[in-house]
Amino acid sequence: MDRIALVGGTQLKGSIPISGAKNSALKLQAASLLTSEPLVLTNMPELADTRFMVELLEQLGVTCFWPKASGRLSMHAEDITSTIAPYDLVRKMRATFNVLGPLLARVGHATVSLPGGCAIGARPVDLHLKAFEAMGADIVIEGGYVKAAALRGLKGAKIVFPFVSVGATEHAMLAATLAKGETVLENAAREPEIGDIAHCLVAMGAKIDGIGTSTLRIQGVDELKGTTWSVIPDRIEAGSYACCVAAAGGEVTLTHVVPETISSLIDVLQRAGVEVEVGPDWVKITRDPAVPIKPVDIDTQPYPGFPTDTQAQVMALMTRANGASIFRENIFENRYMHAPELRRLGADISVRGSEAVVRGVDTLRGAPVMATDLRASVSLIIAGLMAEGETIISRVYHLDRGFERLEAKLSGCGAQIRRLSGSEE
């Protein structure tokens, strides 16, 4: 397995283009199963996860064409040749589970392995399955597989989620586009990626009202057509690089950004004393490294609150703040696995249940550390940019799941970062 080595202490200067959003792209890939016509995605991020999804789609009979470094993926599910998503593929990441709804809606049955992915808590799929049952599907879990059938087609239903779930909202919305009658999703998640998926589905012929609100109304149609769609820029990637600049100091412009999707992070950075300038599709981050970072408390919340997916990045930044910061993780349990690794660099972090207290220190020092999940891995990059000496991060396959050309983007702004082949593990 590869590792990443970086030496801290260098300010970042330049610009970083933000890639398409992984969390939207994966569900849009699953949406290709809903139509017999080609679905073409542009601004497509080339990641381990999106490549995994292509493997699964091809196994189901989808013809995929994705020239390397083109940012353009064409998918044509003219005929579904298999409705079985095997464990060997689904275990690699959770998002592959989202082929269940589209297969159920279009073909009437599917057998999909229960998902794998990052170890940041249970993240059960019971809300997904309850939504499909409400739409008339018969579901059995057997041998680690979900076996679902709706041989007469899915039916519209009123579904009230007991708590906000991004995955369940997206999955139910995908399936409801081909259900008979109206489906109402109440207490739906409002993340920008859900809006991106919904607008793409509308371009394919779906009828969806309430996009961007907590109530979605979907009128089922007989069939969807193909379209070409540009994936929304990745707000988590944008937030991660913003934290990199805030940590290292310097001046970097993030391009191809939708600034309103990272407004909660911008607020946090400004309260921390970081200068942020916002344009129509760009955000400039500026910080003098001689000026101390101010401590900021964080409570993760569903969108438009502060995202759990940038909690680890801000925690890394706060390890050098002039004072104590309190973090409260309200979305996922077990999402402080980066804390012990940050402590290896000299951070002062105390974790108690869903709360973490970060007391800023004068100096971090490079050390060997290990990535535990996708977002935690980039927190170690951020800390390494502030640390004295060299930091070597192992298990960077986590990074490759969600960050496109990370070393190239950071080194292009002056960071001393490189990939090492092989592992000492």
Binding-site positions = 22-23, 94, 123-127, 309, 331
Q: Contact, 321 vs 357, CB < 8 A? A: no
Q: What's the angle, vertex CA 11, arms to CA 10 and CA 12, rounded to 5?
A: 115
Examine the residue annotation and report whether 118 is marked as an active-site residue of this protein. Answer: yes
Which positions make up the binding site for UDP-N-acetyl-alpha-D-glucosamine? 94, 123-127, 309, 331
Which positions make up the binding site for phosphoenolpyruvate? 22-23
Of residues 64, 118, 200, 243, which has the active-site annotation?
118
**Bond preceding residue 280 cis, omega within 30 of 0:** no
Q: Which residue's entry shows tokens 């290990």?
A: 370
d(CA 416, CA 130): 49
Half-sphere exposure of 87 (CA within 13 A, CB side): 5
Q: Contact, 326 vs 300, CB < 8 A? A: no
Nearest to 409 by CA among 420, 398, 399, 423: 399
SS3 readout for 263-281: HHHHHHHHHCCCEEEECCC
Q: Contact, 235 vs 258, CB < 8 A? A: yes
Backbone angles phi, psi at 178, to 5 degrees: -110, 10
Q: Contact, 114 vs 90, CB < 8 A? A: yes
Tell me which residues are annotated as active site. 118
